Amino acid sequence: MGRRVRIFYFLLACVLTGPVFCESLAPLTPLAPQASLAELRFQNQLSISEEKAKDVMALQLGEPFDPEKIQAAADRLHQYYRNLYHPMAQVKWKALPFKSHDQFLLLVEVVEGPKGRLQELRFTGNVQVTSETLRTVVKTVPRDGAWHRLIRKDRLNLDALEMDRQALREFYHHLGYPDIEIGIPVLEKPADYQGFLLTWPILKEGKAYRIGTISFEAGKLPEASVLEELIPLEPGDPYNSRALRNIQVNFQKYLLGEGYAFATVDLMLSPREDMGYMDITFQVDMGRKPLLRKIKLHGNSQTSDHVILREIEIQPGEVFAGDSLYDTKTRIAQLPMFSQVELTYDGDLQSEFFDLNVRVQERKTGRFEVGVAYGETEEVAFLVNLLESNLSLKPPFKGDALSGRLSASIASSLFRVEGAIDNPRMGESHWGLNNRVSYEDNQIISDFYDQRSLHAQSILHYPLSAHQLLGVGLSGTFYDIYGMDPLLAESLSPEDQDVRLTSVLSYWDWNRTDHLLRPTSGGRLRAGVELGTSALGGNVDMVRTRLDAAYYLPTFFEQVLSLECGVENLTGFSSTERIPLPLRIYLGGQRNLRGFDYRSVSPAGPEGNLVGGEGAWWATLEYRIPTWYWLDLAVFLDVGDVSLDAYTFSGEGAVSDAGLGLIVRADNFPVRFDIASPLNTYDSDTVNTTGDLRLSFSAGYRFY
């Protein structure tokens, strides 16, 4: 076979039990307790430079001897070689005294092994299941082409072979072959191959079994109708280990839901090889229905006990309820101050009482962020955010699960600051309260005027379900227009320059996405109505309706197709015949039409100034493609329209743009670059031109 490498029991003992290629060459020679690294030396010739290898290991001369740290450095070099397509590379090291016992020499040996990608995958010994079918089960398969190289999916990872082995066994068991035996995978590089050949030997498939007798060993069982629903099996059905495990799990869940906290459901399998039948016995011990005696909390050194206790529905003296405890764990895990949550209960089959243990691990809840943004305005804005998600209004000002935020956006012609406090649960109720206040001085909002605004709102919100939220509250916003162009000043009425909007707000949120900041599947919807009325002290009577929706569809190779859209309309009533200028709607900028200048999509007045509209809609179609593990590429199309009157179209047709985006995957500090160009504009548009490129950029969060 020419140049050939085989992995037999070495692969079983090493690769299949974890990454153990990096190991010491020999027992360490005794060193002084504080011996420091004097020299790092490689024992053999490397295909990369020694300087590069040392950079990858990242060990500094003078560092004290630390076997764990040295092993981690060797692991980094090992991974580096695997990324260079040396799947069987080994990195070994040993430390020796150097000149004195206070110093040590680190000797590193690298066995690079052959280089290449996986070229072919074979299965031998399989008769009942085709090789084509088995290839769909394993993850380690040949991956050719530029795309797989770009996303680093073409590298052969031997550590994944154990998972493939388990997947093959599981697949055969699912098909009813419990006697399956899978041999040690053989990896070789034949002389006429550019890459590797991987062979999985199927040593024994055995025969496919059918269900024989079904019996029970139990002192007490649920009713026959319940058993028939829990165990949908009949003698003669094909044996399926996965289905049996599901039955066992569902049986256990049923008993937990009925209050049997310590019930056990075991399976005893008795094969009749001569006839090909598998007899099944369910060994069930239901035990007693214990009562809750005490709730014990562990790990919440900063968080108040009542924050956890109010999420626990079952109370002392009540019967065990498995479903309630599952919901309890979910609710506690959703709290932002905990990174881990574990629920256990003490007792046994004959226990009359049980104690509930709630163990939590607290995370850091405060965060300070500094970022920048460009594209929403024609200036670079600096962002500052101070957040705390476990705030208290009394000393020591932590532990009551309040969320506090102070945010600012600062540019030469823009100053915006906002503060907010959210109480997710008021007392023992499920009602929450959000209070927010903000101030803005914006000198780039228009070429014809500048604007100041002061806003405050208070919203009560209530969770209708795990995915729905209802909110209702009051809002007040005061606008002051200044620095007006003389031509505009002559046409503006006093109602346009001094606007006081006092409103009643209501909204409904529905969210079934899989991730808050970077969703890859599911959808979300928000519908809101705002009633502005002079009865609350303002000078504007109007109704604002807004609907925002998004849907995320995973395609293949972790790519995502998303559609986001929104529609907003303003309608005056009573004494308000025309919506004042500060309240009118504009599109353009980083949040909707990225190929257009900030707030530049709008009907124009006689003087050429943009007057905004009373109705608008926008939509974005985006395709997101993962490239490296930390970077996504996005291709998008934005469409939108602004009309003078509510619930109508502009008459000039929708405008649109297309572009590319780069998204850095960082939940703690997201970064996004977008570059887009208008595809078509309004005939009256004097700001945007088809084909012009517009860049937008943001780093950090924006909350306003």
**What is the per-residue pLDDT across 429-457, written as a single tens digit (0 to 9) for each?**
999 999 999 999 999 888 788 999 999 99
* Domain carrying residue 252: 210-285
Reply yes or no on whether the pLDDT at 556 is more than 90.
no
Average predicted confidence (pLDDT) for the chain: 88
Instruction: Report the pLDDT value the prediction gives residue 669, as an integer from 0 to 100.
Output: 65
Query: Using CA atoms, how far apart are residues 702 and 704, in angstroms rounded to an integer?
Result: 6
Reply yes or no on whether the pLDDT at 670 is more than 90.
no
Of 615 and 627, the structure prediction assigns the larger pLDDT to: 615
What is the DSSP annotation of 478-508?
A: EEEEES--HHHHHH--HHHHEEEEEEEEEEE
Instruction: Report the pLDDT value the prediction gives residue 376, as an integer from 0 to 100.
Output: 60
Both structure tokens of 409:
């956006």
Reply yes or no on whether the pLDDT at 671 is more than 80.
yes
Give a yes or no: residue 131 inside a domain. yes
The predicted model gives 261-269 an average pLDDT of 93
| Res. 497 pLDDT band, cuts 50 70 90 | confident
Give a yes or no: residue 618 inside a domain. no
Range name among 144-148, 376-380, 531-535 with the lowest pLDDT average: 376-380
Of 369 and 80, the structure prediction assigns the larger pLDDT to: 80
- 270/319 same-domain check: no
| Res. 653 pLDDT band, cuts 50 70 90 | confident
Query: Using CA atoms, how far apart are residues 209 and 276, in angstroms rounded to an integer?
Result: 5
Q: Buried b / exposed e across 219-252, counting CB within 10 Å, b at 16+?
A: eeebeeeebeebbebeeeeebbbebbeebbeebb
Q: Residue 139 corresponds to which amino acid?
A: K
Residue-wise pLDDT tens digits, 560-605: 999 999 999 999 999 898 899 999 999 998 889 999 998 999 998 7
Q: Which residues pair with 108 in a beta bridge?
A: 42, 93
What is the DSSP annotation of 413-472?
A: TEEEEEEEEEESS-TTSS-EEEEEEEEEEESSS-SS-EEEEEEEEEEEEEEEETTEEEEE
Instruction: Report the pLDDT value the prediction gives residue 11, as an integer from 0 to 100.
Output: 40
| Res. 153 pLDDT band, cuts 50 70 90 | confident
Q: Which residues pair with 412 in a beta bridge?
A: none
- 245/310 same-domain check: no
The predicted model gives 142-150 an average pLDDT of 77
Of 10 and 360, the structure prediction assigns the larger pLDDT to: 360
Both structure tokens of 479:
């606008």
Q: State which of 225, 251, 285 marks the end of a domain.
A: 285
Cβ distance 1 to 191 under 8 Å? yes
Element (H, E) at 406: strand 402-411
The predicted model gives 52-61 an average pLDDT of 94
Reply yes or no on whether the pLDDT at 377 is more than 70.
no
Q: Which residue has the tokens 């299941």?
A: 129
CA distances to 183, 400, 443, 655 from 608, in Å: 79, 54, 19, 19
Instruction: Report the pLDDT value the prediction gives residue 704, as an integer from 0 to 100.
Output: 38
Give the dihedral sign, CA 339/329/508/553. Answer: positive
Q: Which residues pair with 622 in a beta bridge?
A: 562, 636
Instruction: Give the pTM.
Output: 0.67
CA angle 602, 603, 606 (to 5 degrees): 135
Q: Which residue has the tokens 């290449």?
A: 116
Both structure tokens of 563:
């559609």
The predicted model gives 144-163 an average pLDDT of 80
Closest CA to 415 of 447, 379, 389, 365: 379
Q: State which of 305, 336, 362 marks the end of a domain.
A: 362
Q: State which of 260, 285, 310 marks the end of a domain.
A: 285
Q: Give the highest mean pLDDT range of 367-371, 553-557, 561-565.
A: 561-565
| Res. 237 pLDDT band, cuts 50 70 90 | very high
- 22/102 same-domain check: yes
Both structure tokens of 686:
């004097």
Is it true that the peptide bond before 316 is cis, omega within 30 degrees of 0? no
| Backbone φ and ψ of 160, nearest 5° | -80, -5
Reply yes or no on whether the pLDDT at 149 is more than 80.
no
First and final CA of the chain: distance in angstroms?
67
- 34/88 same-domain check: yes
- 163/230 same-domain check: no
- 315/356 same-domain check: yes
- 261/190 same-domain check: no
The predicted model gives 621-642 an average pLDDT of 92
- 200/214 same-domain check: no
Orientation angle between helical segments 241-257 and 161-174, nearest 10 degrees: 90
The predicted model gives 493-519 an average pLDDT of 89
Reply yes or no on whether the pLDDT at 538 is more than 90.
yes
Of 617 and 630, the structure prediction assigns the larger pLDDT to: 617
Give a yes or no: residue 492 inside a domain. no
What is the DSSP annotation of 7-43?
A: -SHHHHHTGGG-----EESSPPPP--TT-EEEEEEES
Give a yes or no: residue 50 inside a domain. yes
Reply yes or no on whether the pLDDT at 369 is more than 90.
no
Cβ distance 93 to 27 under 8 Å? no
Cβ distance 137 to 168 under 8 Å? yes
- 174/146 same-domain check: yes
Reply yes or no on whether the pLDDT at 68 is more than 60.
yes
- 106/17 same-domain check: yes
Give a yes or no: residue 687 inside a domain. no
* Residues composing the chain: 704
- 245/321 same-domain check: no
Element (H, E) at 633: strand 631-643
Give a yes or no: residue 459 inside a domain. no
Cβ distance 390 to 365 under 8 Å? yes
- Give me the CATH number covering residue 161: 3.10.20.310
Query: Using CA atoms, how far apart are residues 405 and 388, in angstroms rounded to an integer?
Result: 7
Instruction: Report the pLDDT value the prediction gives residue 21, as an integer from 0 to 100.
Output: 35
Query: Using CA atoms, how far apart are residues 228 and 218, in angstroms rounded to an integer?
Result: 16
Give a yes or no: residue 650 inside a domain. no
What is the DSSP annotation of 73-92?
A: HHHHHHHHHHHTT-TT-EEE
**Looking at the 3D structure of the chain, how many domains does it have?**
4
CA angle 700, 701, 704 (to 5 degrees): 140
Give a yes or no: residue 577 inside a domain. no
| Res. 8 pLDDT band, cuts 50 70 90 | very low
Reply yes or no on whether the pLDDT at 5 is more than 50.
no
Query: Using CA atoms, how far apart are residues 368 and 381, in angstroms rounded to an integer?
Result: 17
- 150/68 same-domain check: no
